[in-house]
Structure 1
Amino acid sequence: MAASVLLSAENTGLTFAVGNSGTVGAPGNGVGVPVPVPWNRSLDRALEEASATGCLNLSGRKLKEFPRSAANHDLTDTTRADLSRNRLPELPLEVCMFVSLEHLQLYQNCLRSLPESLLNLQALTYLNISRNQLSTLPSPVCSLPLKVLIACNNKLVSLPEELGQLRQLTELDVSCNEIQTLPPQVGRLDSLRDLNIRRNHLARLPPELAALPLVRLDFSCNKVTSIPVCYRNLRHLQSIVLDNNPLQNPPAQICIKGMIHIFKYLNNEASKTTPELPDYDRRPLAFGSCVEELYPGRPYGALDSGFNSVDSGDKRWSGNEPTDELSDLPLRVAEITKEQRQRREREEHRTTGSHSVTNGTCENQRMSVCNIESRLKVSLPSDLGAALTDGVVLCHLANHVRPRSVPSIHVPSPAVPKLTMAKCRRNVENFLEACRRIGVPQVRPSH
């Protein structure tokens, strides 16, 4: 076959063809050098995929407006839309017509406001409007069923009072703004677990935060001088970040020692103003009991003698040595729970003296539970069956009897508080296998 070199009039570059001669783009039997796909053709392909899958990805295309060619595609069933890293001056009205939208990415644009038509998105649970030019949080945002709201790196100077309407919100990130105060309505966010108000202009923390089920609180890089004493009631708190603040109460030497010492200080301050409190109310119950309410049956601290504990799929080492900050937390929680249980038992004993046999049986059961709690250094809930369903406590019990008998344990995490059935089943199977290796006799139920 003859090989010819053609110089196209429309293309000043060389094109090699084998066989029949032809120009670029003309039909022929030749094999030519691939030509880059036009930009608008790539955009059309993204719109076609969105029409088929329900996921619209227009990220990083330098868009200043919504593509006009979108009118040629059916995007009404779109559930996820990513318009991040563009040059949009406002939210396109076309996006506000996606009534099935659940997940919307708008970060790194030029947004100065959001339209009222945003109210149409009554299925939206995730909204990221970070890295824009918003000076206020629009009120329509507070009327959506959001679970995650990320509005960091804007120019916000305040948060609206309507923020308290977001009753399903679990994560709020308004870091790197110019916020000076938080409205008291923030105390109505009954589901809030993660609050990030880092790098703002806050001079004080609202006491209303003490009523929230916060697991993580970050107010670093602000102007806060004191932590309210009522924050000792943040029973679920696992992480608090407070560096780069001119804190005087608690003093800096207390804060650098960690969360345990901070809560001890707050409880001591509370006992000075309310000396009538009993001892068990003065102790920092704080963040210990969140284990049972958020993650039933999950041990807390360094309870496991094994390794490779799996936190929702991510493996990590978990040796026997506890961290300095949380070393005595499980034991304290167990002691407090034991004191409360003993006090309740004494009251029941005074009122129900006639049921001595039944009380004796219950006492034996309670003593057995206390024995397990003291050995594992955890507090077991009253609904013991539900707590053992995921197999986490069982695996730690096996590792307590024989270290590393269960090498890998699936445990919940703040992001995924409930294990899947497959992971629960795997934990139980690992526990049964460890029991067989330890030598526990297998007893079959009689029919």
Structure 2
Amino acid sequence: MASSQGGVGAVTALQSHHYSSGPHWSPGISQFQHQQHHTARSLDRALEDAVCSGILNLSGRKLREYPGVSYDLTDTTQADLSKNRLTEIPPEVCLFAPLESLNLYHNCIKCIPEAIINLQMLTYLDISRNLLSVLPKYLFNLPLKVLLVSNNKLVSIPEEIGKAKDLMELDVSCNEIQVLPAQVGRLHALRELNIRKNCLHMLPEELADLPLIRLDFSCNKITEIPPAYRKLRQLQHIILDNNPMQSPPAQICLKGKVHIFKYLNIQACRLDKKPDTLDLPSLDFYPTKNHGPDSGIGSDNGDKRLSTTEVRIQTTLTFCEYSSTDPSFTMRRKMEHLREEMEQIGLLRQNIESRLKVLLPDDVGAALMDGVVLCHLANHICPRSVASIHVPSPAVPKLSMAKCRRNVENFLDACKKLGVPQDKLCLPHHILEERGLVKVGVTVQALLDLSSSSRPAQLLTV
């Protein structure tokens, strides 16, 4: 009896202290049980709403199994199951005949079942950040307009992709694809193609016949752009950085798409052994509005560089004329700048590998993106400088962007506390977006310099 009174008194005191405005807690229900009850109730509500609206949203609920078995969701037109822990596409979802959009981003799915061919209304499929090693042939019998399969483990794309006649956007970036099939050239509706960060050595000439607006093949091993690509009249954005480019040379690529297309036209003329007209899509590249830094038009109203009028007049420009007017001294400067950047990235790799006794992959940016290696480096230099590190697990082999960001911010906070000057600290996006490796290298070098000069004092203060 005394213990019962004590329990009631404890609950009363708890309510009157911090939780007076919160829910009433009974002695028989723990906080954990209450949270479970609340989660189950919100899940039921989401499923009930989907029955009425046809829009199923179960994103970010850490689901390992599909919870809607007892609900009639066969009229669903949009399903969002992203950011869960599903290991397969639920068979029930493959029975949603009217389904138009399916989002499976960031799960642990290893294969696409054949039952997906039931979804003959499906136009949008996002299955990025999963564990796919192959795309099945039957997938391309669907009327897809958008297919996103980045950040998987794909090593190839089947030739059957040529059947996806309605496909307008294809993203297969961040995989291990070695060859792009020529059948991609049959995708006559394709507007955006992202093949960034794969293992490609060459581009298929068949892409030249597509109405592409955006093409990203950065971070591969490509050395040459086929001269036939000069026919890509609608192309507005071409992204090709981090490739060992030889044709066009790197100095031409740095000057932007106008100069790339001029080079491709010149190469085509040389191959034909006769002068030819340039296929520069001047109307697309030179709108009457503002000109971007990649447009090939200088800031002085285009007087000092290539102007729109000049492009239209010089339609029979020969190789000799082009090379004689080319400012080679600026090219040399840019090449020297590129060489210095590569040397600094090599030094960054060497610093990390020698300290942590590890071997980083070829893509240093991808290895550092989640912040795990950098946090371990900070703790190696000064133990416990980063108290908590989010690391991948067998169940969730890829960290969420939020956890990656926390790792990176914890690393930068540790650098600041250890005395790295503010002007040598990189920003989080330099690591997370893999776009500022040189600045990351400056931060790491400053951290190592501090450790060699004042490590004993730092260890005493920890």
TM-score by length of 1: 0.60
Q: In the alignment, which residue of structure 1 is the partner of 2:279? A: 284
2:295 counterpart letter in structure 1: E
Q: 2:223 aligns with which of 222, 225, 234?
A: 225
Q: 1:332 to 1:9 in 2, by over 3 A?
A: farther
User: What is the aligned counterpart of 2:134 among 133, 136, 144?
Assistant: 136
Give the corresponding residue for 1:267: 265
Paired AA for residue 183 in structure 1: P
Counterpart position of 1:39: 39
Alignment: residue pair count: 292
Which runs of 5 or more residues in structure 1 are unaligned? 27-34, 292-299, 305-317, 338-447
Q: Deviations over 1:110-159 (max 9, x none)?
A: 11101100001111111000000101112222111011100000000000
Give 5+ residue unaligned stretches, structure 2.
Answer: 29-33, 298-305, 316-462
Superposed CA offset, 1:231-268 (max 9, x none): 11111111101111111111111111111111111111
Q: How many angstroms apart in 2 are the aligned matches of 1:332 and 1:150?
A: 40
Report deviation, 1:331: 4.0
Q: d(CA) in 2 for partners of 1:23 and 1:77?
A: 40
**Greater C-alpha Rg:** 1
Structure 1 counterpart SS, 2:125 = strand
Q: Which amino acid aligns with 2:210?
A: L
User: Which residue number in structure 1 is paired with residue 80 of structure 2?
Assistant: 82
Residue-by-residue CA offset, 1:193-241 (whole Å, 9 max, x unaligned): 1000000000011111111111111100000011111111111111101
What pairs up with 1:102-251 in 2 under 5 angstroms? 102-251=100-249
* Kept after mapping to 1: 8 A contact 2:257/2:294: no
1:223-372 alignment to 2 at 5 Å?
Answer: 223-276=221-274, 278=276, 282-285=277-280, 287-288=281-282, 291=284, 301=286, 303-304=288-289, 318=290, 323=293, 325-327=295-297, 331=309
SS at match of 1:225: coil
Change (3 A) 1:324 1:92: closer
Q: Distance in 1 between matches of 2:104 and 2:225?
A: 34
Of the structure 1 ranges 326-335 and 221-230, higher mean CA displacement relative to structure 2 is found in 326-335
Q: Is the 2:282–2:312 Cα contact (8 Å) retained in structure 1?
A: no
Conserved in 2, the CA contact under 8 Å of 1:6 and 1:15? no
Judging changes above 3 Å, is the alpha-carbon distance between structure 1 residues 8 and 46 closer, same or farther for their aligned structure 2 residues? farther
SS of the residue aligned with 1:240?
Answer: strand
Equivalent position amino acid for 1:261 in 2: H
Aligned to 2:434: none
Instruction: Return closer, same or farther for 1:81/1:23 CA change in 2, 3 Å cut-off.
Output: closer
Q: Please tell me whether the aligned partners of residues 8 and 23 of structure 1 are also in contact (alpha carbons under 8 angstroms).
A: no
Whole-Å separation in 2 of the counterparts to 1:251 and 1:127: 37
Q: Which position in structure 1 is the counterpart of 2:386?
A: none
1:326 Cα shift? 4.5
AA aligned to 1:156 is L
Q: In structure 1, the residue corresponding to 2:173 is in which secondary structure?
A: coil
Distance 1:249-1:13 versus aligned 2 partners, 3 A rule: farther
| 3-state SS in 2 of match to 1:61 | coil
Distance 2:166 2:199 in 1: 27
Give the superposition deviation at 1:23: 8.6
Cα distance in 1 between the residues matched to 2:113 and 2:307: 48
- Alpha-carbon distance in 1 for matches of 2:77, 2:307: 43
AA at the equivalent of 2:208: A
* Alpha-carbon contact 1:301-1:329 (below 8 Å) kept: no
* Percent identical residues: 54
| Structure-to-structure mapping, 1:394-409, within 5 angstroms | none
CA contact (8 A) 2:201 2:221 kept: yes
Aligned counterparts of 1:323 and 1:180: Cα–Cα separation in 2 = 32
1:169, 1:192 within 8 Å by CA — same for their partners in 2? yes
The C-alpha deviation readout for 1:335-365, integer Å capped at 9, x for no partner, is 699xxxxxxxxxxxxxxxxxxxxxxxxxxxx
Is 2:82–2:107's contact at 8 Å kept on the other side of the alignment? yes
Q: Whole-Å Cα distance in 2 between the matches of residues 131 and 71 of structure 1?
A: 25
Contact 2:77 2:101 in 1 (8 A): yes
Preserved CA contact (<8 Å) 1:58 1:82: yes
Which residue in 1 is equivalent to 2:48?
48
Deviation at 1:9, TM superposition (A): 11
Contact 1:301 1:322 (8 Å CA) reproduced? no
Please state how far the C-alpha of 1:65 moved relative to its aligned partner: 1.1
Quote the offset at 1:12 in angstroms: 9.1
* Deviation of 1:274 (Å): 1.6
Which letter does structure 2 place at the counterpart of 1:301?
A: Y
The change in CA–CA distance for 1:89 and 1:330 in structure 2 (over 3 A counts) is same
Q: Shift in Å at residue 39 of structure 1?
A: 1.6
If each structure's strand is expressed as a fraction of its own residues, which one has the higher value?
1
Is the contact made by 2:144 and 2:167 (CA closer than 8 Å) also made in structure 1? yes
